[in-house]
Homo-oligomer: A and B are copies of this chain.
Amino acid sequence: MDAPPTHDPIAELITNYNELNSSFIEELHEEPSALEFMRFVARNTPFVVRGGAANWQATREWSVDYLRNFLGDQPVNVAVTPAGNADAPTLYNPPSQPPTLVLAKPHEHPLPFTALLTHLTSPNPSNSEVHYAQTQNDNLRHEYAPLFTHHSHNLPTSIPWARLALARDPDAINLWIGNSRSTTALHKDGYENVYVQVAGRKHFILLPPVCHACVNERMLPGARYVRRKRGGDGTAEGEEGGLELVLDGEGGGDGEGGAVPFPIWDPDKPEENATEYSALARPMRVTLEPGDMLYLPCLWYHKVSQSCSPEEVCIAINYWYDMDYTGPLYPLSTFVRSVSNKNK
C-alpha cells in the first residue's frame, strides 16, 4: 500500500470531494418537501430525518409478540449464514487448494415465521448459524403481504416526498428482520433508497461514488452456502449438517456462474485489503434509531450493521426507487471505475 503519486487525478478527485462536502450527515427534524428532497437528490447527498417515521403504526407497535401473533407460522424465506455474512466477500477454503475470496450468498431456507423469531431471540452461542430475513425482492408486498395490506398498519405504498420528487413509484419495498449478528457488507445499488428504521438500531457507513478507488473492487467468483446433506461433519446419517460454501456452477451451487465486481475493503478494518486510496476516504457514519428515516442516494457504498437487545429483533423497511440513468452521474461513476481499474 503505497501513497498515491502527486497530481494523481484519482487522489485529487477524492480530496476535492472531501474539501467541498461534509463527512457528517445532514440531520432533518421533519420530513422534507418534495423540492427539498430533490435538492439532495441533485447533490447526491444523504440525510437522515430524525423521528420522520415515529408516528407510523409499525414503529409504534411492531414487536416480536405483535409480529408473532400477526404472521404466526406463515413460511418465510430466511438467509442462513455461518457468521451473518449474507452477500459478503468471504474466504473460500477448499481442501488442498489455496484459499480464495468469493462473494458468499446465503443459504436460503423457508422457515415458519415463528421459528425465525425464536431463532433470532434465543441466546445463540456465537458460533451458531445466523438468520436474517432480507429477500430484497419487494418482499413486503409479496412474502409479507398480510403485514403490508392490513388496514391497521397504514404502511405507505410510497414515501410521499420521494414519489412527488422522483415522479415514480418504488420499484421494491423491502422488509428486513434480523438481529445484532447480521452485517451487510459494503456494496452499492442503482436505487434511490429511503430506509425506515422500525425496531432496533442500524449502523450505516456511507461512502460517495467518487470513492470507488478506495473500496478495492475485485471480480469475485460467486458462491453459495449449502447445507451438508449427511453426516460429513460428524452428524448422523440423514441428520442435517453444517453450511458449506459451494462455488456457483459446481455441484449444489446455483449455477449462475461468472464473477461479479465487489468491494473487498471494509471501512471497519481500514488496514486490511486497502488500496493506495483507501486512507483518503472519509466514511460518513449514521445510526438509525426506531422512527428515523435515511435517504441513501444511488450509487453510494454502504455497509450496514445492527444492534438490538437479545430478546428483540431489528426491523427495517426500505423503499427503492429506480435511479435516473440520464444525466452525468452514472456515466461519470462508470468512468471513475474504468480509470481506477486501468491503473491497477
Q: Per-position contact with B for A189-232: 1 when CB-CB < 8 Å, else 0?
A: 00000000000000000001110000000000000000000000
Query: How many interface residues does A have (CB within 8 Å)?
Result: 40
Interface centre among A7, A34, A45, A335 (most CB of B within 10 A): A335
Which chain B residues border A209 with CB–CB below 8 Å?
328
Q: Which residue of B lies closest to A338 (CB)?
A: B9
Compute how far the CA of A194 lies from the CA of B312 in the bound complex, rounded to whole angstroms: 55
Compute how far the CA of A339 lies from the CA of B335 in the bound complex, rounded to whole angstroms: 10
Q: Per-position contact with B for A1-15: 1 when CB-CB < 8 Å, else 0?
A: 000000101101100
Compute how far the CA of A284 lies from the CA of B209 in the bound complex, rounded to whole angstroms: 28
Give the Cβ gap from A102 to chain B, nearest Cβ, in Å. 26
Which chain B residues border A45 with CB–CB below 8 Å?
326-327
Contact A9 B326 (CB under 8 A): no
User: Chain B interface: which of A35-43, A114-122, A144-152?
Assistant: A35-43
Contact of A12 among B35, B165, B335 (CB under 8 A): B335
Interface presence of A330 (CB below 8 A): yes
Give the Cβ gap from A271 to chain B, nearest Cβ, in Å. 26
Compute how far the CA of A333 lies from the CA of B328 in the bound complex, rounded to whole angstroms: 9
Given contacts A327-B45, A329-B328, contact A334 B12 (CB under 8 A): yes
Contact B324 A328 (CB under 8 A): no
The complex is assembled from copies of this chain, and their number is: 2
Give the Cβ gap from A336 to chain B, nearest Cβ, in Å. 7
Q: Is the interface of A mostly helix, strand, loop or mixed?
A: helix
Contact A39 B167 (CB under 8 A): yes
Which chain B residues border A342 with CB–CB below 8 Å?
9
Q: Which residue of B lies closest to A13 (CB)?
A: B335
Q: Which residue of B lies closest to A166 (CB)?
A: B39
Which chain B residues border A331 with CB–CB below 8 Å?
13, 16-17, 20, 210
Q: Which residue of B lies closest to A324 (CB)?
A: B43
Interface presence of A164 (CB below 8 A): yes
A287-325 CB contacts (< 8 Å) to partner B: 324-325
Contact A339 B167 (CB under 8 A): no
Which chain B residues border A208 with CB–CB below 8 Å?
328
Which chain B residues border A20 with CB–CB below 8 Å?
325-326, 330-331
Contact B39 A334 (CB under 8 A): no
In the A-B complex, the 10 residue pairs with the closest CB atoms: A43-B327, A42-B42, A9-B338, A16-B331, A38-B38, A13-B335, A17-B331, A332-B332, A9-B339, A35-B35
